[in-house]
Structure 1
Amino acid sequence: MAETGDNPRERRIMVAVDESEESMHALSWAIDFLSIQPTDTIILLHAQPLPRVYSAIDGYIFTSDMVQSLQKYQERITEDVFQRAKNISTEKNVQMCLQTRVSVGDARDVICEEAEKVGVDLVVMGSRGYGAIKRAFLGSVSDHCAHNVKCPVMIVKHPKKK
């Protein structure tokens, strides 16, 4: 009896999620088009931005209460992102194979580091569709990851709005 098909290999698929519609579309696409199996694991990764550091020279002084408030706000954003992602996976009956990961830092670096650390087979991410000028100033997370992640990267474009 052939081994292929009898014992499907577990795939580890990392989907980078944030508060954007593009990332949720990428998750939905991954579930629909990658034929997620019960043996697969979908790792939802959310990169929390580094807290901004201001000095008294900049004219800003943050109390510890303000810093805690900013941290709680970021935690609420993360919870909301994961809840939206879980709702999508529940609708598509794949909630049993989800894991969540949060890492603080620049999304470009976080995605590359976490993909290697976790040992994923594929990274799926949305594309904001920035034009050349915005991409030059803001950079492209998906472009950076496509060139630096050591496994395949699937960049999913959100359908154009009519």
Structure 2
Amino acid sequence: MAEERGRTILVAVDEGDESAYALSWCLKNFLCDRNPKDTVVLLYAKPGRVVYTAMDATGYLFSPDVIATVERYGNEVAHSVIDKAKEVCKELNDQIKVETMVEQGDPRDVICEVADKLNVDCLVMGSHGYGVIKRAFLGSVSNHCAQNVKCPVLVVKKPQSNGANHRHQ
């Protein structure tokens, strides 16, 4: 059935090089048949709004102007990430249909919810390559999604640069 309607591929994007690499890898390798019915959905999960319930050091709450500035900055980051991802799609595979989504919340939850809601054929995401310690404290978005979505998940790891692998002799 996916062949008749084309595939819907959800690609989670963020500010990191890892997600940009995953998107380009997906376009070059996974969507190389250039089926005009395929759709790539670019998803940016904007961090949830911070609730300022505690007083700051001076005893005053953050002003509405500060909160509005933080919100505006978050929107600018989201638009920048999506625009860059759309440009990558255009450069590497201009025949594919691209849709975009910006959703607010914890990336783990947002990605899983959107993947299920859209009933995507595959979820593609980059791996930050955190070690055991960082992963224990920060959690792994890709691991969480792989365990909780109903579709196949493709986690693309960006190769380490050559300089990092060479030993000094």
Regarding TM over 0.5, the answer is: yes
In structure 1, runs of 5+ residues without a counterpart are none
Residues 51-130 of structure 1 aligned to structure 2 (within 5 Å):
51-59=49-57, 61-94=61-94, 96-130=96-130
Q: Which moved more, 1:65-74 or 1:131-140?
A: 65-74
Is contact 2:40-2:96 (8 Å) kept?
no
Aligned length: 157
Whether the aligned pair in 1 keeps the contact of 2:35 and 2:96 (CA below 8 Å) is no
Return the offset for 1:101.
0.6
Q: Does 1:22 align with 2:12?
A: no
1:12 partner amino acid: T
Contact 1:26 1:157 in 2 (8 A): yes
Structure 1 letter corresponding to 2:110: V
SS in 1 for 2:55: helix
The aligned residue for residue 142 of structure 1 is: 142
Q: Give unmatched runs, 5+ long, in structure 2.
A: 163-169
* 1:67 shift after superposition: 1.2
Q: Aligned residue for 2:153?
A: 153
Tell me if the contact between 1:89 and 1:95 (Cα under 8 Å) persists in the aligned partners: no
Q: What are the superposed Cα offsets for residues 91-133 of structure 1, whole Å, 9 maximum, x if unpaired? A: 1133650000111100000000000011100000000000000
Native 8 Å contact 2:112 2:145 kept in 1: yes
Tell me the percent identity: 50
Distance 2:96 2:154 in 1: 23
TM-score, length-normalised on structure 2? Answer: 0.87
Runs (4 or more) in structure 1 with deviation over 3 Å come to: 56-60
SS of residue matched to 1:50: coil
